[in-house]
Structure 1
């Protein structure tokens, strides 16, 4: 496929498709959506398989937790660098590298014979995902340049991305029960192989910025990657050690120092990894804060509901996974509604409406009880919360990326994905800690009714998630009232 170039404001000339036909653009959209779905799916797909992994590989409790945390660390810690690399070396090259690393790591993880092997494979999966996720969004931004077409494409990408987290529990439960836990990793191998073949044919071989990797701000890249990794490590350690433990506040203090040093470095170098002028754009900065809040609430919801289903209602892993299906479908419906309405309303009304619907859904979920059921306690508020998320996610992503120059598309994509993952890690750590403390207090003062104490803890977590979504709605007020406004 031939490519044409258009110089960006900094003098670079990333290539893009020239007069791509409907079949080409449809293929690129499908490739981007499937790749993003695979990456997000693996954030949650292993959760219901953890007991089986622990039994077969003789894992400790900490080892079991690190199967999840290793992926989160590699993914969230390198997303910003992965996004910038897509700008510098070309989106296709970054995409192919990410898919290859992700697929091979999935194969290695499925073949693991001990815990260390599996944790290492999950970490490499995360690194591959950090290259792949920003590249999928960059593909959409550079392929669909007409506003209406970009809105439709972004709606599909957002729906798939949002549904990936919910679908992980369903797919993981089915695969674990009927094929064995190794298939929660092996399933990525045929998908990755198909993506590689499709990308080689359909994704245009766009060049990166002039100078390529020679323009990479290596000191800034190392500093921000170390800072984000320390931040995520400190946050996820809080889930098991408490916020006052040295293993938590030590990395958090290091993260503050490293990220402050990163800002100082970016103000001085000729080709910064993250130009500070990008962070001064009100629309982009506000949208990323909103993305962080939505990630904090939604990641926590999937986690807390999974525990409620299995520990309080005593559902099997498969039944618990199937209970998330209405939420997955509701997210897709919300994203489709947002896609249709956004050309007329802009981002702000949809974001605020969606956030308020999710606020109501989380507040309703806070009333769950030990003697409840999916039908009476969860179904309706789950649909309401996820419908609101579907409405809010796509316009927020559009707002966060629409003002980016072509040669900063990968950077904007990396920022959005980083905000989502940091928000998810932070929200999960905070809400899980709150839920644990409430449960412990109830057991200490109210007897030995463990299911009731657990339900009370999870309910308090949902109430805080509701407050977080109020903050997301308030953040939406700072966005422009119509699309295309750049601030």
Structure 2
């Protein structure tokens, strides 16, 4: 049993790196732009590069783990992540840093599906797996908080001329022990039947996902220009052609990238829809909250950051506490958690319009984090529950891809609605109105998630009321 949890710790180090490096660059943007003499466009690419590389290759990463070994691909991802982090840290120009961040994202895409896959294989029993997914959720919370905190901390140091470089170089002391322990402790797992790798499918799928992710990410900064709309249409055409190609290859018993047998699992389909609506809500909320605090309520970046950290603390606490509730009450605990988040958002609708003090903001974000932390680990658990080992890597990659695309869609779509209601010369009242509209959209997304959880079969998250 102890050996299992030691293995869990090792693979969660990879998940920590993946999450932390999504957030760690945000606070350091002004320093990096000044020192590298980067344009605004180059800075947009720098932020987007990691997410584009990550989202484009997640399905490929999952399939590589299935075919060539999840331990092997996880270690390869760690090594590539460390090397790309070093190159980021010593970059002498904006172009070099953009490319290095893109490679970092690809490296993260090699690691992330293996983490979910290995958790499902290590902990086949529902009770143990639920606990393990609780720690997975805790890691996401820690990575979110650490990323934002360490990004600000290292950027403000005066011990060296360009301290922002430390936000990348700090990955080295995490990667080295993670690589060593992975080599020593992790067991290899892959599908038993030898199959060839569908390289052509990778190129088609990656091109489609790249176009979609790029267009969505850049729309956040540039708006829905003709270029971005055209890329979305091209992406749709490429992905449609990919699906036809994969189905034909499966019929002809040739190598493939996605096994569509995944979508025969009811809980997988429900988990995919639930996580998509949940992350449309989650990422759009934080994007708009930051704008509302700093531009609408005229808070300093430090004040806004301190309040948002309370959300992370609530997330971490809930990931630990919610395990017992999920084991005891099954999906009823998830439905209650979603209802709790809706309640907190409704309170924000009213209290954020009043002369709310700093402690109230912190409390509301902490409670919001409690709700979020009680849901996220179980969404992955629902989607991957009962999945055969042959499909687990494929399923993990698809799940992560939907999650990332949904997050970007949320920021772009809900963000556009926020700006529409804001107008061209917004007053404080208009900021309140725009924020209220987006909160109502977030509540609607949560209702869709709740409907999906209602339909999840009881055996996926069984109640264990008599458990001692």
Normalised TM-score (structure 1): 0.87
Secondary structure at the aligned position of 2:164 is classed as coil
Residue 439 (structure 1) aligned with residue 422 (structure 2): yes
Partner of 1:169: 148
Contact 1:227 1:255 in 2 (8 A): yes
1:241-265: per-residue Cα shift (whole Å, max 9, x none)?
Answer: 323x212211111121112112212
CA distance in 2, matches of 1:58, 1:118: 12
Partner of 1:224: 205
Question: 1:95 Cα deviation (Å)?
Answer: 0.4
Contact 2:114 2:393 in 1 (8 A): yes
Question: 1:184 Cα deviation (Å)?
Answer: 1.8
CA distance in 1, matches of 2:459, 2:318: 20
Partner of 1:137: 116
Residue 107 (structure 1) aligned with residue 90 (structure 2): no
Partner of 2:439: 462
Question: 1:319 Cα deviation (Å)?
Answer: 4.1
Partner of 1:400: 383
CA distance in 2, matches of 1:366, 1:283: 33
Equivalent position to 1:481, from 453, 458, 462:
458
Instruction: Quickly say closer, same or farther: Cα 1:187–1:410, change in 2 above 3 A.
Output: same
Question: 1:219 Cα deviation (Å)?
Answer: 2.9
Partner of 1:254: 234
CA distance in 1, matches of 2:26, 2:372: 22
Contact 2:259 2:394 in 1 (8 A): no
Identify the range of structure 1 (331-340 vs 312-321) with the bigger mean alpha-carbon deviation: 312-321
Residue 202 (structure 1) aligned with residue 182 (structure 2): no
CA distance in 1, matches of 2:424, 2:320: 43
Equivalent position to 1:275, from 259, 266, 270:
259
Partner of 2:371: 388
Question: 1:209 Cα deviation (Å)?
Answer: 4.3
Question: 1:315 Cα deviation (Å)?
Answer: 4.6
Aligned 1:262-411 pairs, distance under 5 A: 262-269=242-249, 270=253, 271-346=255-330, 348-367=331-350, 368-369=352-353, 372-376=356-360, 378-411=361-394
Question: 1:460 Cα deviation (Å)?
Answer: 3.4
Instruction: Quickly say closer, same or farther: Cα 1:370–1:209, change in 2 above 3 A.
Output: farther
Question: 1:372 Cα deviation (Å)?
Answer: 4.6
CA distance in 2, matches of 1:66, 1:197: 33
Partner of 1:93: 72
CA distance in 2, matches of 1:453, 1:112: 42
Identify the range of structure 1 (423-432 vs 316-325) with the bigger mean alpha-carbon deviation: 316-325
Partner of 2:53: 74
Identify the range of structure 1 (320-329 vs 405-414) with the bigger mean alpha-carbon deviation: 320-329
**C-alpha RMSD over aligned residues:** 2.2
Partner of 1:116: 95
1:234-283: per-residue Cα shift (whole Å, max 9, x none)?
Answer: 2112213323x212211111121112112212212124322222113221
CA distance in 2, matches of 1:326, 1:60: 33
Equivalent position to 1:52, from 28, 31, 45:
31
1:440-463: per-residue Cα shift (whole Å, max 9, x none)?
Answer: 2553xxxxx4x5544544443333
Equivalent position to 2:407, from 410, 424, 430:
424
CA distance in 2, matches of 1:237, 1:260: 22
Partner of 1:233: 214
Question: 1:431 Cα deviation (Å)?
Answer: 2.2
Partner of 2:171: 188
Secondary structure at the aligned position of 1:324 is classed as helix
Equivalent position to 1:149, from 128, 136, 144:
128
Partner of 1:472: 449
Question: 1:474 Cα deviation (Å)?
Answer: 1.7
Contact 2:259 2:391 in 1 (8 A): no
1:18-75: per-residue Cα shift (whole Å, max 9, x none)?
Answer: xxxx332121111122211210111111111111111111222221121110001000
Normalised TM-score (structure 2): 0.90
Secondary structure at the aligned position of 1:480 is classed as coil
CA distance in 2, matches of 1:189, 1:458: 40
Identify the range of structure 1 (115-124 vs 225-234) with the bigger mean alpha-carbon deviation: 225-234
Instruction: Quickly say closer, same or farther: Cα 1:95–1:315, change in 2 above 3 A.
Output: same
CA distance in 2, matches of 1:207, 1:102: 22
